[in-house]
Amino acid sequence: MPSSPRLPALAPGLHAVLALPRADQPEALRDLRRALQAAGAPTPEAWNSRFGTGSLFDAWTRSSLVEGLHRANGEVLREVLPRDRPFRLLEIGGGDGRLWERVLPEDAEGVLTMVDPVPEVADQVRARLPRGVSLDFRPGRAEALAPGSLPDVDAVVCSLTLHHVAGRDMAERRVHGLLGPGKAEVLRSLAAAAKGGLILVNEADVHCEIDLPPGDPVLEERMLDSYVRRCALALLDDVAVRADADDDLRGRWERVVLHWCIEQLDLAAVPLPDRDVYELDAPRWRALFRRADLSLVREVPTDRYGLFRQYLLRP
């Protein structure tokens, strides 16, 4: 008996919504969501709240979107790992650590320093590291790091995490009534840890930063574009074609679509500090990297839906 019942009305319902004129899609999505909930859709699981076996996050990192992103990161990281001594790496936002399971060889040796506000992440990541790699876990948010507190490392990975930091910099945050560091200040602290080494950033290509206020129809349209037209469709393609998935995984991918893609549109209406997602489109990410005095060495898309990009940066 699968632990995640399927949602058979989801895929046909979503494809029907996306066939409508764009202006009609938000309301039609709300109707679809109500219909799925009335049909007994399971309890939501918030993004980045559980990471273990059977969680939606576990299903997320097994999706083709994330597998492709990790594959691209692996190609880069395997090149920069030192061959004559143990490595020293830093990751901001670790999730379930699946990246490291996919990237590090069994005989790897080194230290992975990880900054993440969720304590469970430490257990998840540790369980996926080879025996010769130790985890130096620093609980907390990247923007709360004390200056100079990060070790010198060979490379920094900041994958699908920087969008949780609101505002391009302190000055932009102040304009919107927020205090403390923004993305550029976080990137500068990573550059200090990387010395001349590589900083690898993965992010979605969609502008929904704090300059778009809650309730702005443009914000809702942008979130719909990334979370539904790209992310949800990619996951439903996995549901339809992935021969390695069982019914439980398919059921969890469907719930990711419902709870993390369709319901995510609610964030377009919440007060600014609660939005939790402050993405930039590719030209704006590039401008941000310049503002943080980082050189862009390479930029590649990591999926065929135009959702995620990999940026390789050097101080």
Ligand X SMILES: C[S@@+](CC[C@H](N)C(=O)[O-])C[C@H]1O[C@@H](n2cnc3c(N)ncnc32)[C@H](O)[C@@H]1O
Would you tell me which residues interact with ligand X (CB under 6 A)? 48, 61, 66, 92-95, 99, 115-118, 121, 141-143, 159-161, 164-165
The CB-of-186 to ligand X minimum distance in angstroms stands at: 8
Q: 288 and 201 in contact (C-beta within 8 Å)?
A: no
Residue 138 to residue 119: CA distance in whole angstroms: 9
Classify 171 as helix, strand or coil. helix
The CB-of-303 to ligand X minimum distance in angstroms stands at: 13
Maximum Cα–Cα distance for the chain, whole Å?
59
**In terms of Cα–Cα distance, which of 98, 97, 135, 143 is closest to 117?**
143
Please provide the DSSP assignment of 4-49 as one string: S---TTHHHHHHHHHTS-GGGHHHHHHHHHHHHHHTTPPPP--TTS
Q: Which tokens hold the place of 120?
A: 């469970």
Q: Where are the beta strands (DSSP E) in 40-184?
A: 87-92, 110-116, 133-139, 155-159
The CB-of-140 to ligand X minimum distance in angstroms stands at: 7
Report the residue number, 30 or 141, with the smaller CB distance to ligand X: 141
> For helices 25-38 and 10-18, what crossing angle results, to 10°?
170
The CB-of-263 to ligand X minimum distance in angstroms stands at: 16
Report the residue number, 94 or 315, with the smaller CB distance to ligand X: 94
Q: Which tokens hold the place of 100?
A: 């490291």
Report the residue number, 41 or 142, with the smaller CB distance to ligand X: 142
Report the residue number, 25 or 73, with the smaller CB distance to ligand X: 73
The CB-of-264 to ligand X minimum distance in angstroms stands at: 12
Report the residue number, 32 or 184, with the smaller CB distance to ligand X: 184
The CB-of-182 to ligand X minimum distance in angstroms stands at: 11
Q: Which tokens hold the place of 224?
A: 């719909």
E strand or H helix that includes residue 309 = strand 308-314
Report the residue number, 145 or 245, with the smaller CB distance to ligand X: 145
Q: Measuring CA to CA, how many Å separate 93 from each of 115, 143, 166, 191? A: 6, 12, 15, 16
Report the residue number, 142 or 262, with the smaller CB distance to ligand X: 142
C-alpha dihedral sign at 214, 220, 224, 225: negative
The CB-of-127 to ligand X minimum distance in angstroms stands at: 14
Report the residue number, 116 or 254, with the smaller CB distance to ligand X: 116
The CB-of-93 to ligand X minimum distance in angstroms stands at: 3
